Amino acid sequence: MKARDFLSVRDVSREEIHELFTLARSMKKDPRKYAKSLEFKTLALIFEKPSLRTRTSFDVGIQQLGGFSLYLSPNEISLGKRESIHDVAKNLERMVQGIMIRTFAHQIVIDMANYASIPIINGLTDYSHPCQAMADFLTLLEHKGKLEGLKLTYVGDGNNVAHSLMFAGARLGVNVTVACPPGFEPNLTAFRQAVEDAKATGAKIEVVHDPKEGVKDADAIYTDVWASMGQEGEAEARKKIFRPYQVNTQLMSYAKPDAIFMHCLPAHRGDEVTDEVVDSKQSVVFDEAENRLHAQKAIMHELMK
97 is catalytic: no
The total of other beta-carbon atoms located within 10 Å of residue 32's CB is 8
Q: What is the DSSP string of 236-250?
A: HHHHHHHGGG-B-HH
Catalytic one of 111, 126, 136, 224: 224
* Residue from 10, 53, 106, 129 carrying the catalytic annotation: 129
Which one of the listed residues 102, 106, 171, 238 is annotated catalytic? 102
- With CA atoms as reference, report the closest residue to 174 among 183, 182, 165: 165
Long-range pairs, 185-189, Cβ under 8 A, ≥24:
185/158, 186/158, 186/159, 186/162, 187/127, 187/158, 187/163
User: Which of 97, 264, 294, 301 is the catalytic position?
Assistant: 264
Q: Provide the β-strand partners of residue 222.
A: 154, 262
Closest CA to 130 of 152, 90, 101, 151: 101
Using alpha carbons, select from 94, 102, 101 the residue that is nearest to residue 118.
94
Strand ranges, E, within the chain: 42-47, 68-72, 98-102, 120-124, 151-155, 175-179, 205-208, 220-223, 260-263
224 classed as catalytic: yes
φ/ψ of residue 268, rounded to 5: -95, 90
Catalytic annotation present for 192: no
Torsion angle, CA of 216/227/134/34, rounded to 10 degrees? -140
Beta carbons within 8 Å of 78's beta carbon, 6+ residues apart: none
Dihedral sign from CA coordinates of 191, 194, 198, 203: negative
Out of 64, 97, 132, 193, which one is annotated catalytic?
132
Contacts of 86 (CB under 8 A, 6+ apart): 111, 115
Can you tell me the distance from the alpha carbon of 194 to that of 190, in angstroms, rounded to the nearest whole number?
A: 6
Q: Which of 10, 238, 292, 294 is catalytic?
A: 292
> Residue 269 catalytic?
no
Give the catalytic positions in this structure.
Answer: 102, 129, 132, 224, 264, 292
